[in-house]
Amino acid sequence: MSTLEIRDLKVSVKLPEGELKPILAGVNLTVKSGETHAIMGPNGSGKSTLAYSIAGHPKYEITGGTVTLDGVDVLEMSVDERARAGLFLAMQYPVEVPGVSVANFLRTAKTAIDGAAPKLRTWGGELRGAMERLQMDPAFAQRNVNEGFSGGEKKRHEIVQLELLKPKIAVLDETDSGLDVDALRVVSEGVNRVRDTGDTGLLLITHYTRILRYIKPDFVHVFVAGRIVEEGGPELADKLEDEGYERYVAGAGAARA
């Protein structure tokens, strides 16, 4: 079993003029293999900052706290070292990579993470199987990564990566954004297949409860003003659906005043 531990994490974003703007104000969170944690909160609350800080985005500066994976300091690792250690980020806005085919990208990533190239006699079948389960045309394997992909195709490709790379901890940053109901179902089924192996812990970041109708969280965390302000089980998501975030936002504003 693997464990991601975040303790009193404080993060600032680097502004173009060089100044630092505080975003995360002391986040505490533990995610273990087989667990699904939903981070929910309004726009601008710092949810994506948490995701990119875990992944090692250079735009964000850690100003306090710790992040460890199985007791090893994640913050001392480079981005590629974090991936090899077992961390995975499905991005809210997947980027295009011209000149690199999906097939080459995935095989290179798998080789880097496993330390050895996957066997050619089985890899092709694994790739086709993952794409078919996500209802992606196998012809996409020969296209450049995300180039000309629709929003839904990009998100499906993210989950193909998740299935093939088999990380210890996966952070899914608003994977539901931009998906129609059919694509949301297919993507959610892919996430559930990974979750059901029991080998991967999931940190699912979202605004809305609609994806939680397909992916049942074990824990729900309300994120406002750079910190977790309430925690609970799946019933907390239902409460948010009925009441929204207004009282949490108002409470955070009163605390700052």
Band of pLDDT at residue 255, cut at 50, 70 and 90: low
- State the DSSP H helix or E strand holding residue 219, giving kind and residue range, or none if neither: strand 219-224
Map out the domains of the chain as residue ranges. Answer: 3-254
Q: DSSP letters of 144-159?
A: EETTT--HHHHHHHHH
Residue 253: the pLDDT is 57
What three-state secondary structure class fits 197? coil
Question: 224 and 245 in contact (C-beta within 8 Å)?
Answer: yes
For the domain spanning 3-254, the CATH number is: 3.40.50.300
Strand order in the sheet with 36-40: 87-90, 169-173, 201-206, 36-40, 219-224, 227-232
pLDDT per residue as tens digits for the range 124-158: 999 999 999 999 999 999 999 999 999 999 999 99
